[in-house]
Amino acid sequence: MKNRAKDLNLAMLYRKYGIILILLILFIASACINQNFLKIQNLINILKQISVVTIIACGQTMLIVSGMIDLSAGMVCTTSACFSAGVLASTGNVPLAIIVGILIGMTAGWVNGFLITHYKLQAFIATLAMTNVAKGIVQIYTDGKAISGVEKIRFLGQGSIGIIPVPVIIMLLAVVAISFIMKYTTLGVNIYAIGGNEKAAIASGINVNRKKRIIFTLSGALVGLAGVVLMSRLMSGQPSVGEGYEFDAITAVIVGGTSFLGGIGTVTGALVGSIIVGLINNILNLLHIPNQYQLIVKGVLIAVAVIIDIKTKGDKRSE
Amino acid sequence: MCKKGLTILLTLCLSILALTGCSGTGQSSSGSSDNNSEDDFLVGFSNNSDTYDYCAKFRSYLKEETEALGIKIIVTDAAGDTNVQNGQIDDFIVQNTNVVSAISNDLDGSVPALEAARAADIPFVSFLTTITGAEDYDKFIYVGSRNYDAGVVQGEYLVENLPENAEIIYFTGPPNDQQYIDRKAGLMDTLSSRSDIKILAEYNVENQKDLGMSTTEDCMQAFESFDAIVCQNDDSALGAAEALKSAGRLDGVSVIGIDGSDQALESIKAGEMTMTVLQNAKEQAKAGAEVFRRIRDGEDPSAIEDVYVPFTEVTNKNVAEFLK
């Protein structure tokens, strides 16, 4: 009994602090290897480069913790980016463009949630279908070409407040907001309950279907926001950029300590996970290692993260 | 079981450390050259996409020509992703390169890269493509070839070689593309010197081979005869040549393209396509390396003009030079 309790504590300890330890080790190692790494501009670049994916990862954390997943996040992000760009280019109205982007994300999210709760489709399948629909829609809307004429949103994508780029500020705000929701609201409690044990959650009176739709819609809003930020980063709506972002987001979430099996995980963990991935990409760049190797590293990272996830949770389950 | 997990974790950290540490020591002797010192002039070049024939060729030439002048160059591949390319240029700046350059992936999408270079007051050399707002940055230098000039080379060939009262069909790319507008303008302006040449029709074949082929088949039905099919790129010209060849009507029809792709050169050698306008990657690379040299030797980048490398006319007579 004593041993089991001790093991449980170690697992919890790892989940809470393990990734921060990994981040620290990587940070120190990178600083030693390459003197350009520690430059303020470089560190800011890393944060800037992970901002779009991290915003998506905030939503993805809620989904994975509640036992679902969204494979359409990348393509919906692209669709939001392009429609937002289109609206801005034709009306010149920045708030309208931002709202349109977020609404598109929310709509896609709601449809995903509906398919999963009403028709009992697996999240995997429903969102996979959504990816293709979104891809088709964005190709038709943009005719395969980038949409330009979005000069008005320049500050959002290229500007900074002090030395911190605006996309980074938006990313941090998203992390704080979703973190708050997951820790201090009923929805947050529900997310962990549904992910931990769905049957028990239903039994305890939670309207699980309704909550799932809410989670998907909220996550969709974040994907839409990410699309707007992406569009402002690229000063255009690019139909070919954004595909595959859901995998980067999921990697960040899992590396950050969220369990693939549901019930465990935090948004701040996802942020740390995202920084770890971004840091590794950055140091490989500074070492002039071709970016194809970065793809391999990403794949290995997520495999290792899931293995560690299973090892540390598997013990708990076996008790 | 948990200790096993912790062990895996620790091993992972140590192996990452070891891996990066090893390449670190390997690099530390050249590491000092990565951190640019006063005497080490360093150029960064981000290629659009190594899997795109022309860009892959161009990148090898640029590396060759630059290193031949004794200048160090970092070459990366953006794999077609604008975000990745912008990130690579950010990284060049962090590594204190004296010049950043790229085949800019997208007119608007590459704006962050231009902004980053401007903020760091570093010259930006853009090859083959330009970026929105480039005119506002005085240290932006364009090295490439003008689409208008490609049209001119086509026009000159036609003016010289077409028989009297010749009739031609014009195959183009999408009409809202700047490339279409410029290539057509160059062609039409040059053709105006021969008022006897008549343009029977113009078709938008999206610069694609299959549309080039099917539209040619339709033209053979619609028109009794014509003397030339002039195309805005090689792919559609190859399609046209295919269709003519299958129908046995290649004789007496000149098929003309733009690009100088390997397939077009083969086709010219085989006597099917008549002529193409070659974009000279090697000359463009030389011009780029020359710009780098001028900056290294102390010339003020804001005074350096854009460089336009002329196209080369390639026909049966000189195709052997370009086929490797």
What's the pLDDT tens digit per position in A170-222? 999 999 999 999 999 999 999 999 999 999 999 999 999 999 999 999 999 99
Which of A135-149, A184-198, A291-305, B126-140 has the highest mean predicted lDDT (pLDDT)?
A184-198
**In this structure, CATH architecture of domain B147-278:** 3-Layer(aba) Sandwich (3.40)
Of chain B, the percentage scoring pLDDT greater than 70 comes to: 88
Q: Evaluate whether B38-144+281-308 and B147-278 have a shared fold.
A: yes
* Cα–Cα distance, A121 to A117 (Å, whole number): 7
**Cα separations (Å) of A255 from A292, A309, B10?**
20, 9, 15
H helix runs in chain A, sequence order: 2-13, 19-33, 40-65, 73-91, 94-118, 123-142, 154-158, 166-184, 186-196, 198-203, 208-233, 245-255, 267-286, 291-317
C-alpha closest to that of A67 among A233, A257, A163, A198: A198
Q: What is the pLDDT of residues A134-182, one digit of tens each?
A: 999 999 999 888 898 899 999 999 899 999 999 999 999 999 999 999 9
pTM: 0.79
Mean pLDDT value of segment B218-239? 93
Q: What is the pLDDT of residues A48-68, one digit of tens each?
A: 999 999 999 999 999 999 999
Give all strands of the β-sheet with B72-77 in edge-to-edge order: B72-77, B42-47, B99-102, B124-127, B140-144, B307-308
Q: Where are the domains of chain B?
A: 38-144+281-308, 147-278
Categorize the per-residue pLDDT at A3 as very low, low, confident or very high, splitting at 50, 70 and 90. Answer: low
The Cα of A38 is separated from the nearest Cα of chain B by a number of Å equal to 10
Categorize the per-residue pLDDT at B6 as very low, low, confident or very high, splitting at 50, 70 and 90. Answer: low
Confidence at residue B11, expressed as pLDDT on a 0 to 100 scale: 53
Give chain A's mean pLDDT: 91
CB contact under 8 A, A285 and B87: yes
Chain A residues in contact with B79 by the CB 8 A cut-off are 291-292
Nearest to B90 among A45, A146, A304 (CB): A45
Whether A38 and chain B come into contact, CB under 8 Å, resolves to no
Q: Which domains does chain A have, with CATH numbers?
A: 2-317 (1.10.3470)
- Phi and psi at residue A253, to the nearest 5°: -65, -45
The Cα of A185 is separated from the nearest Cα of chain B by a number of Å equal to 32
Categorize the per-residue pLDDT at B321 as very low, low, confident or very high, splitting at 50, 70 and 90. Answer: confident
Mean pLDDT value of segment A15-32? 87
Of chain B, the percentage scoring pLDDT greater than 90 comes to: 68
CATH topology for the B38-144+281-308 domain: Rossmann fold (3.40.50)
Higher-confidence residue of A66 and B55: namely: A66
If one counts every other C-beta atom within 10 angstroms of the C-beta of residue B79, the result is: 16
The Cα of A72 is separated from the nearest Cα of chain B by a number of Å equal to 19
CB contact under 8 A, A241 and B83: yes
Query: Which are the contacts of B145, defined by CB distance < 8 A and separation ≥ 6?
Result: B128, B279, B280, B284, B308, B309, B310, B311
